[in-house]
Amino acid sequence: MNIMLGKIKPSSGEILYHKKNIKKNNSKIKNDIVICSRYNNIFEGLTVEQNIIFMTKLFKCKVNVDQVLENMNLIKYKNEITAKLSHGQKRILSLGMMFLRKQKCIFIDEPTKGLDIGQKKIIWNYILRCRKEKTIIIFTSDIEEAEVLTDRKLILLKGHMCCLGTNEYIKSQLVNHYYLNIKSSSVEMVNDIIKSVIPNATLVKTNNKKKVLDINIGHVWKLPSSSISNYSSLLKTLNKRIKNEGIIKEFSITIPTLKEIYHRLKDEYETNLLELDSRDIKNEKAIAKAIPHPLLLIFPYDLRPLKILTKNRILNAMKNRKYIFWSVLIPISLVVYAFDTYTINQKRAIIKLEPLNIGSEYLYNDNRFIWNYDFNSNITSRNYKILKYVKNKANKDVLVYDKSVQYKALVEINELSVNNMLDGSIYVSNVIGYRLSRNHYRFDLIYNATLLHSLPSTINAISNSILYSKGIKQRIYTISKPFDLNSTAVMRENSYDISLIFGFVMMFASLYFLYYAMVEKTEGVYTIYRSYGINEKIYFITAMTGDFILSTLLNITILVMGIRFHNPVFEDKSSISIFFNIMTMGSLVLNMIQRVVVNFFKSKKILIFSVVIYHLMFIMVAFTFIFEIYNLDKNILYMPEYLIVIEVILLLLNPLYAVVGILFSLYLISNYSTDKFYSKLVGWSGNVFSRSELGISILFTILTSYMVCLMFLFNIFYHSTVYKYSKKGMVKRSKRIIEESCEEIKNEHKYVTDNCKDLVIGAIDLYKEYPYYSLSLNRDFSYNKKKIKKYQYKEPHSSVYADMTFSITCIDAVTFGVKQNEIFGIIGPPHSGKSCILNIVGIKETYDTGSLYINGINKANSNMEDIVISYCMQKPTLMKELTVKEQLALVLDIIGYSNQGLNNYSKELLKFYDLTEFTNVKIKDLSYDIRKILNLVVMTANAQQIVIMDEPTQGIQTLARKRFVWDRIKQCSRFYKSSILLATSSLDEAAYLCDRIGILCKGRLVYIGTLGELKRKYENHYYLTVETDGSTSFHNILIKNNLETLLDIKFELKIHTPTYYKYTCIINTNLDKLLKALEDYKSENIITCYTLSQKTINDIYSDLTCY
């Protein structure tokens, strides 16, 4: 199609439209072409009318909207939002919008794919009504659709053209015979009768497996088309033999239809005529010797599975490149960067202060400081110093003492200072001096010890005063050289940077575990272990243990690196212990939370993106916000109390933030402790979150409690039995559905209800619905609820169990039972509810209403963890990083095989399934069909008694490979005595494998029984297809000639066009007369060709499932 439209250039050849090459006239030709995609090109937010109006404006054409909608049968939905239409209505609207253009060449891609037969007929009739004066090219995989709609057909197979022409031409070229199927106990006698009338007839199928005579055994003869004139006489002869001699029970004649011809070409084998009466397998004794026999072992001890799975998880991770990159290389690189940056910034934090002159003339000399304050003195503190300089008689300054100052005055000064009555002044010192002799003085000093330099400054003032009194003008200078000081701002920033980087280390380290948990969920890895008796609790514990050990190994590596880099936190035993415990506990909590989060996402990319954004919001935004507020005041060491409350809330919301916050406090304490000045100030006083081990211990306790609570909730969430009891009215409704069903369904329901505890699997009235979210529907729930029909399959309806919501029903009143050693098949078209039933039985999903019994145990009363169910899912559930040998070794090691026994049994299994050449190949490098076979090997290696298989051969291309798998399934069932529940959309697969089948249509079972019983039930049902030149109506001729009454045959018209008619006929007798009448019509040129074919199993299946 893309080549014809010029989208892809052909390697050779050319495409011509009206003798014009599309390559040279691409733009002009495309303007004359309309393309209708297989997808619905409509605007679901608009009404049906608005969609039509929009397209008319786009195409610049004028139409009568009502007339267009009438032609589409959508006139009553004119003002409806398009989202509310059914899938078939959306499809016909999409097609109709393309037909609004006036171009005469229309390309339609898969016009009815995914629709049922009723919706297909509506669309076919619409296309036929609109085809006048148009050239329509249809691309379809539905041969019946091509037969109805097209005048000529081109059948492609693997890129090659098989045939081209009309229905009549293709049949005449490919079909030169009829099939005559006769049930008789005497093949030789029947063969002689047929040869006497039609000598060229050939016996193509016989059955010699049963030695006893059985009149129910069917035999097939091929009758040449050239002898069609003799068919009537042959059928008359056979009718006489039935009545008179009884050697023939019944017979039927079949002409291959175009659909059968197409499937024969596609599958490259003769028309499917599977033997339905015999289930024997050739060389049973030889197979019994060849099939591997497992040892029926039990777990040697309870911890063995835990040990094996944990070891495997660790080794599997270490082989994974994603783990090496995300959880090892990136974290270690960040740690190296963090330690290097920390060391560089630590050097920058050191502040070297200049020497300070602490003499009284340079220090404490402003008005705030009080020197030698005398309470009884009238000299104020502003101009009063330690010694008083006054003029003597010689007009020289001399030092005098104020003798009024007594010791009791000092007490009063202290009281004034304590009571804060010194008006914001700071007391420095008080001096009482005495001159004992010429060069001897006595001074009594009382100084303020909280002022660092009050004592040396006071002594300096006294010394200089004495010198001044002696007339010496030189001064004594007292110099203080301060110790180097660490900048609090740099220490804070350094602590912030390294704790933030460690936050990224933990985030990146946990991403692999998050990704792997999502992979395990989407690929169903747990189903492997479930097949070997490993319940979810053990699986969860092993998963968490493996992740914890890997995280611990990374933390130990970081610990060693920290010691090697001489990081201050790693130079103290208590700090090392706290760091390691916090990192380890944080990793455990983080991995556990991620295990819970995985259950709420379906896409790995969206999950990882959401988790990364979630962590970044806390460690980048929230943590930075807290740090900036804390850093506003450079003078305080401790965090304000209101920030403490915010931190507690944040760490409860995100364990990663808890680790970052604790490491920030730990590094602050480490920085303060190594500083000679701040080490005296940081202790048990001040803020809880910035002082020694107390604050970290509190945070550690909160984090541990948080983890325990989450583990408890997770255990309840995962391992509780969820069951909804039947809502009022559902039981009556299920009974009504059973009463309206066929007799086989009624008998099955009665049998399963009476014997549910004796069956391997018993399902009674199972009902399951899924929530449906739509803004357009939920916007006006009450109005839409009245308009939407309840319980309409695949369409939204008001939920049975949730108020004010819409749901879609998946399965409805499903009842069936699986007996001991039986293969029971559920067959149905895609999206009919097969996988849902298997998921419910396989304990992967819960059901809303009904009862489920497995080995006589009711699921409503048990979580069924002790029941071993092997579930072979539709997609292979294997560990892709392992080799084939390692995968088998893992599951066999869980059971308890010795190393020698494990190797021997693995070789036997691989040889039996023809997989020996792939022994050392990684599973991810295997082709899809080999992985499907390996999945089957793993799921049945231990002779499991209950096996569930969902589409076991879907995706396997060749028929030979399919039959190889079918043989292995059948042999394992027979020799392992397993009960198998199988879901498939392939009727051939069901016919080959199943003892009984259940046909599922739109979530309901429409038939249960064997295929032989189904064939006998519809043995008198035929399809008659007639083609004419369109000049006359064959159906009117049929009615006019009163053919129904004359032949006692009921004709039901299924599909018709002016040149094509398809009928369903019930023919008990007069088959020969019908053939004669058709030949007469053909000779009179009323019809051009016809086919009369007994309904095959495929036809019956299509009728029952409307697919």
Q: Does residue 475 sit in the same domain as residue 404? A: yes
Q: Which residues pair with 767 in a beta bridge?
A: 849
The radius of gyration of the chain from alpha carbons, rounded to an integer in Å, stands at: 46
Residue 676 has pLDDT above 70, yes or no: no
Do 314 and 418 share a structural domain?
A: no
pLDDT score for 148: 82
Q: Would the pLDDT of 892 be above 50?
A: yes
**Does residue 894 contact residue 309 with C-beta atoms inside 8 Å?**
yes
Last residue of a domain, one of 461, 482, 503: 482
- The residue range of the domain holding 1023 is 1016-1107
The answer to whether residue 129 scores a pLDDT higher than 50 is yes
Question: What pLDDT does residue 216 have?
Answer: 43
| Token code pair at residue 898 | 């010795």
Please choose, from the candidates 99, 118, 121, 100, the residue with its C-alpha nearest in 3D space to the C-alpha of residue 108: 99
533 and 456 share a domain?
no
Higher pLDDT, 722 or 1073: 1073
Query: Looking at the domain assignment, is residue 210 inside a domain?
Result: no
Q: Are residues 471 and 500 in the same domain?
A: no
**pLDDT (0 to 100) of residue 803:** 65
Confidence band of 375 (pLDDT split at 50, 70, 90): very low
Res 154 pLDDT > 50: yes
Q: In 3D, which of 988, 1086, 989 has the Cα closest to residue 1030?
A: 1086
User: Where residue 1047 sits, what CATH number does that domain have?
Assistant: 3.30.70.1110
The CA dihedral of 546, 548, 553, 558, to the nearest 10 degrees, is 150
Cβ-contact 674, 568 below 8 angstroms: yes
DSSP secondary structure letters along 771-839: EE--HHHHTTHHHHHHHSPTT-TTS-EE-SSSTT-EEEEEEEEEEEEE-TT-EEEEE-STTSSHHHHHH
> Residue 705 has what pLDDT?
59
Residue 482 is given by DSSP the state: P
- Is the model's pLDDT at 404 over the cut of 70? no
Boundary residue ending a domain (482, 501, 533): 482
Tell me the C-alpha to C-alpha distance, in Å, between residue 1106 and each of 123, 811, 1098, 1099: 15, 17, 12, 10
Q: How much is the average pLDDT of 376-386?
A: 36
Q: Within a domain: residue 637?
A: yes
Lowest mean pLDDT among 183-187, 898-902, 1006-1010, 1026-1030: 183-187
pLDDT at residue 862 above 80? no
**Percentage with pLDDT > 90 across the chain:** 13
Question: Which pLDDT band holds residue 612 (cuts at 50, 70, 90)?
Answer: very high
Asked whether 597 and 513 are in contact (CB, 8 A), the reply is: no
| Cα gap 951→876, rounded to integer Å | 11
**Long-range pairs for 65-68 at CB < 8 Å and ≥24 separation?**
68/96, 68/100
Share of residues in the chain with pLDDT > 70 (%):
79
**744 & 774 share domain:** yes
784: confidence class by pLDDT, cuts 50, 70, 90: low
Strand order in the sheet with 1060-1066: 202-205, 218-224, 177-184, 248-254, 1089-1094, 1021-1027, 1060-1066, 1050-1056
1009-1016 own/partner pairs: CB under 8 Å, 24+ apart = 1009/744, 1010/276, 1011/276, 1011/1097, 1012/276, 1012/277, 1013/744, 1014/1097, 1014/1100, 1015/276, 1015/1097, 1015/1100
pLDDT at residue 906 is higher than 60:
yes
8 A C-beta contact, residue 760 and residue 819 = yes
Range with the largest mean pLDDT of 387-391, 479-483, 552-556, 891-895: 552-556
What is the tens place of the pLDDT at every residue in 938-997? 988 887 889 999 999 888 877 778 888 898 888 888 888 889 999 998 888 898 899 999
pLDDT at 1050 exceeding the cut of 60: yes
687, 691, 693, 694 alpha-carbon torsion, rounded to 10°: -20
Q: Has residue 972 been placed in a domain?
A: no
Least confident of 118-122, 609-613, 694-698, 752-756: 694-698
Exposure of 101 by Cβ count < 10 A (0-12 exposed, 13-18 middle, 19+ buried)? middle
The residue type at 438 = R
User: Could you give the CA distance from residue 1065 to residue 1090 in angstroms, rounded to a whole number?
Assistant: 14
Q: Please say if the pLDDT value at position 455 is more than 90.
A: no
pLDDT in tens, 1084-1105: 888 888 888 888 888 888 888 8
Task: Say if residue 1010's pLDDT is above 70.
Answer: yes
Stretch 736-758: mean pLDDT? 90
713, pLDDT greater than 80: no
Question: Which amino acid is located at 23 in the chain?
Answer: K
Query: Is residue 781 a contact partner of residue 758, using CB atoms and an 8 Å limit?
Result: no
* Measured distance CA(553)–CA(545) in Å, rounded: 12
- How far, in Å, CA of 506 to CA of 554, rounded? 10
Highest mean pLDDT of the ranges 45-49, 433-437, 813-817, 1022-1026: 813-817
Residue 941: HSE in the Cβ half-sphere, 13 Å Cα cutoff: 31
Tell me the CA distances in angstroms from 186 to 174, 212, 249, 892, one per residue in order: 32, 11, 11, 53
293-328 confidence digits (pLDDT tens)? 666 554 444 677 888 889 888 988 888 888 999 999
Residue-wise pLDDT for 210-256, tens only, equals 333 333 447 788 888 777 777 777 877 777 766 556 667 777 777 66
Higher pLDDT, residue 30 or 977:
977
Final residue in a domain of this structure, among 669, 690, 719: 719
Does residue 330 carry a pLDDT above 90? yes
Please tell me whether residues 491 and 472 are part of one structural domain: no
Lowest-confidence segment of 601-610, 612-621, 801-810 by average pLDDT:
801-810
Report whether pLDDT(489) > 90: no
| Residue 291, in any domain of the structure | no
Distance CA 941, CA 976 (A): 10
Output the six-digit token pair for 973: 């069932």
- DSSP H helices, 473-572, are 488-523, 526-530, 536-564
Q: What is the mean pLDDT of residues 493-504?
A: 92
Q: Span 161-171, mean pLDDT? A: 76
Maximum separation of any 2 CA atoms in the chain, in Å = 171
Would you say 1062 and 1056 are in contact if contact means Cβ atoms under 8 Å apart?
Answer: yes
Does residue 401 register a pLDDT over 80? no
Q: Tens of pLDDT along 1061-1089? A: 888 888 877 877 888 888 888 888 888 88
pLDDT level of residue 520 (50, 70, 90 thresholds) = confident
- Would 452 be classed as within a structural domain? yes
Average pLDDT over residues 864-891: 85
As a whole number, the mean pLDDT across the chain is 78
Mark whether 600 and 623 lie in a shared domain.
yes
Does residue 527 share a domain with residue 667? yes
Burial (0-12, 13-18, 19+ Cβ within 10 Å), 546: buried
Do 565 and 525 lie in one domain? The reply is yes
Q: Strands 16-17, 20-21: parallel, antiparallel or unpaired by DSSP? A: antiparallel
Q: Are residues 712 and 737 in the same domain?
A: no
CATH of the domain at 117: 3.40.50.300
Give, as one character, the DSSP assignment of residue 396: -
Give yes or no: residues 415 and 462 share one domain: yes
Residue 895 lies in a domain: no
pLDDT of residue 1016: 83
743-746-748-749 Cα dihedral, nearest 10 degrees: 170
Confidence band, pLDDT 50/70/90 cuts, at residue 562: very high
pLDDT class of 637 with cuts at 50, 70, 90: low
Residue 372 lies in a domain: yes
Are 734 and 710 contained in the same domain?
Answer: no
Residue 797: per-residue pLDDT: 74
Q: Which of the four pLDDT bands, split at 50, 70 and 90, describes residue 526?
A: confident
Q: Look at residue 735 and tell me whether its pLDDT is greater than 60.
A: yes
Give how many domains the chain has, as a whole number.
5
Is 961 inside any structural domain?
no
Q: Over 50: is that where the pLDDT of 409 sits? A: no
Calculate mean pLDDT across residues 833-837. 91
Residues contacting residue 732 through CB under 8 Å, at least 6 positions apart: none
Give the residue-averaged pLDDT of 453-457.
85
